[in-house]
Amino acid sequence: MDKLDLNMKEVHKELVDFLKENFKKNGFSKAVLGLSGGIDSALAAYLLRDALGKENVLAIMMPYKSSNPDSLNHAKLVVEDLGINSKIIEITD
């Protein structure tokens, strides 16, 4: 299999532009994101911050009693690094 050759700056620009255009087209300027602490939601958080601005992204973290504590800690690290607003909603009950 051939190595995938990507220009990461261009990929980032394309993804951010896509988000900007689609949010604007649909009349939205803010986003609420479920942030699990995994790579998928972390990447989405970074892209949304770059597309909408940190003041327009709200991360919701929803730990459950059987959740790995590392997941919430990782999500908190993403929130801190991005400077976005966040809420923790315990969903065990």
Q: At a CB cut-off of 8 Å and minimum separation 6, what does 82 contact?
A: 45, 46, 49, 54, 57
Looking at the predicted structure, is the pLDDT value of residue 1 above 70?
Answer: no
58 DSSP β-pair partners: 32, 85
Full-model pTM: 0.90
Q: What is the pLDDT of residues 36-88, one digit of tens each?
A: 999 999 999 999 999 999 999 999 999 999 988 899 999 999 999 999 999 99
For the chain, list the domains and their CATH numbers. 9-19+29-88 (3.40.50.620)
pLDDT attached to residue 59: 98
Looking at the predicted structure, is the pLDDT value of residue 2 above 90?
Answer: no
